[in-house]
Amino acid sequence: MIKIENLYKSFNDLEVLKGLTLNVEVGETVTVIGRSGCGKSVLLKHIIGLLTPDMGDIWVDGKNVKMLSKSELYKLRLNIGVVFQGSALLDFLSVWENVALGLTENQKITVDKAKEVARQKLSLVELEGVENKRISELSGGMKKRVAIARALAVDPLYILYDEPTTALDPITARTINELILSLKRKLKITGIVVTHDMESAFYVADRIAMLHDGKIVFDGTPTEVQTTDNKIVQNFVKGGGQY
């Protein structure tokens, strides 16, 4: 499981996280909602050890991320797939090379094997026959699927999605939500989805946690979110993810 305990992080005088606590149990999908700039991406970066806490701890499978050596951190990252905000695909590589990046970079694997794994993962995200295309030839929704396939390439135990539906039209966003849910069911993967898209949050979540002013101010099931009298949550949900 992923356990975040009393996490603090500032950048110069900007206090972003101020005692954030959140647990994610094995097999569940938790969405973290909160307005733009509240620290959602910063939170995800701590889980994979790209940022170090000023204070507090993050435990993944019982390991304290900030205590890990470089090689231990590297091993941990092989268990965590990340779908970065904006997909972060490399335009100068083909679709399959993007999907296989984590494999070819980190492990000794033949080109044929890497391409085969890429093809499997692309079929898991319902993309077939595109492996030799360039990234620039794809639509926004297809790029998102390629980014998800890349996150899945190493067969991770955990997957972190950073704004998976932002910048997509509502219909395409819905197909990505359906994909997130079906992958969760098929692969029994543990997930965190950060988003300010409320429809997405409700659709994919077992639990929804609201990040506000550096802390998780509410944590409950989608039904509890709809019935809470917490004003911050109510305003956020009513505004469809805006204030």
Ligand X SMILES: Nc1ncnc2c1ncn2[C@@H]1O[C@H](COP(=O)(O)OP(=O)(O)OP(=O)(O)O)[C@@H](O)[C@H]1O
The smaller minimum CB distance to ligand X, of residues 36 and 226, is found at 36
The smaller minimum CB distance to ligand X, of residues 115 and 196, is found at 196
* One-letter amino acid of 229: D
With contacts defined by CB under 6 A, name the span among 38-46, 125-133, 146-154, 200-208 that binds ligand X. 38-46
In which residue are the tokens 């019935």 written? 227
- Contact pick of 85, 175, 228, 234 for ligand X (by CB under 6 A): 85
- For 216, residues 6+ apart whose C-beta sits below 8 A from its C-beta are 20, 21, 22, 32, 209, 210
The entry of ligand X, Mg ion, none near residue 164 (CB within 5 to 8 angstroms by kind) is: none
155-194 binders of ligand X (CB under 6 A): 163
Supply the DSSP symbol for 180: H
C-alpha span between 54 and 7 (Å, rounded): 8
Residue ranges that bind Mg ion, judged by CB under 5 A: 40-41, 85
- Contact pick of 40, 145, 150, 212 for ligand X (by CB under 6 A): 40
Per DSSP bridges, beta strands 14-24 and 190-195 are unpaired
C-alpha span between 243 and 235 (Å, rounded): 6
In which residue are the tokens 């990040």 written? 211
204: left (phi over 0), alpha (psi -120 to 50) or beta: alpha
Q: Does 198 bind ligand X (CB under 6 A)?
A: no
Q: Does 21 bind ligand X (CB under 6 A)?
A: no
Q: Does 37 bind ligand X (CB under 6 A)?
A: yes
Q: Does 41 bind ligand X (CB under 6 A)?
A: yes
- Contact pick of 4, 22, 38, 237 for ligand X (by CB under 6 A): 38
Rounded least distance, CB 44 to ligand X, Å: 8
* One-letter amino acid of 71: S
Nearest CA-CA partner of 177 in 145, 155, 150, 149: 145
Q: Does 242 bind ligand X (CB under 6 A)?
A: no
The smaller minimum CB distance to ligand X, of residues 104 and 195, is found at 195
Binding site for ligand X (CB under 6 A): 11, 14, 16, 34, 36-42, 85, 163, 196
